[in-house]
Amino acid sequence: MSYFSELKSKKVVIVGGSKGIGKDMALAFAELESDVIITGRNEQDLQEAAAELQQHNPQCSYLTADIQDVQQIYNMIDLAHERLGRIDVLVNNAGINITKPSLEVTEEDWDRVLDTNLKGTFFCAQRAGKYMIEQGHAGKIINIVSQMAFVGYIKRAAYCSSKGGAVQLTKALAVEWAQHQIKVNAVAPTFIETDFTKTMFEDAAFHQDVLSRIPLGELAKPYDVTGAVLFLASDMANFITGETIRVDGGWTAI
């Protein structure tokens, strides 16, 4: 048996799929011959990522959308469904963080983080869930959250709130949509070693503080998250719903 072979020809939408862990996930699905649509705000990044995906599966493509805008979300999912014919897997990977002490967080900061990480996640899932229910067969929705859904950390009041909310959202949708055989789960990574986080870890004290909280003693790599996502998307996870897999090196086990 070839693991994940059932993902061949699956129709996959990855929100926030042009860079970092989103792109790594998209490449993994494309290598398994899933038909993947990646979405994001930066068209140049999307074009470059889609070109890489098409080397593995020419059916892969991209759509631009800002998920802080609900109408753009609806248009994005509608177009993805039209292009793919159905949606088997939705991965909600888009997310932002505005790092500030809590006393300095503005209403605009709060709204940007919550609108992307929680509101955007909900409305993407809502629209995709509508199509999954209408198409009458099981689907998978996978929300990328964070270990900070479970622990607090400095300068991340809005971020922790948004990711904690996304974990509870995952449970609520899993319970409500179980009757339709839609499995809704989440993956909660620790800090990931990407080009985006590289400058963040140039602060030696911050880097050491993070590593001191991870029993495995290293940062996660994008493929660590991708492995959990592929598992949840596969038939091996067909009896799992409402769960969050913590890819955090043991941070939340302490």
pLDDT at residue 138, as a whole number? 87
Q: How far apart are CA 146 and CA 194, in angstroms?
A: 15
pLDDT at residue 173, as a whole number? 98
Q: Which residue range forms the structural domain that includes residue 162?
A: 5-248
Any domain includes 224: yes
- Tokens standing for 236? 């091996």
Our count of domains for the chain comes to 1
Any domain includes 127: yes
Catalytic residue among 62, 153, 159, 223: 159
pLDDT at residue 194, as a whole number? 86
| Low-confidence residues in the chain, pLDDT < 50 | 1
Closest CA to 121 of 88, 144, 87: 144
The secondary structure of the chain in percent helix, strand, coil, rounded to multiples of 5, reads 55, 15, 30
Q: How far apart are CA 218 and CA 210, in angstroms?
A: 9
Q: Residue 167 CB: number of other CB atoms within 10 A?
A: 19
Burial class (CB in 10 A: 0-12, 13-18, 19+), 113: buried
Any domain includes 253: no
Q: How far apart are CA 147 and CA 79, in angstroms?
A: 32
pLDDT at residue 137, as a whole number? 80
Instruction: Give pLDDT tens digits for 209-234.
Output: 999 999 999 999 999 999 999 999 99
Question: Is the CB of residue 194 less than 8 Å from the CB of residue 222?
Answer: yes
Q: How far apart are CA 112 and CA 92, in angstroms?
A: 16
Indicate the pTM of the whole model: 0.97
CATH number of the domain within which 121 lies: 3.40.50.720
Listed in order, strand segments (DSSP E) in 41-174 are: 61-64, 89-92, 139-144
Instruction: Please state, in angstroms and as integers, the Cα–Cα distance from residue 92 to each residue in 42, 185, 250, following that order.
Output: 17, 10, 23
Closest CA to 142 of 34, 231, 251: 231
Residues in the chain: 254
Task: Check if 159 is active-site.
Answer: yes
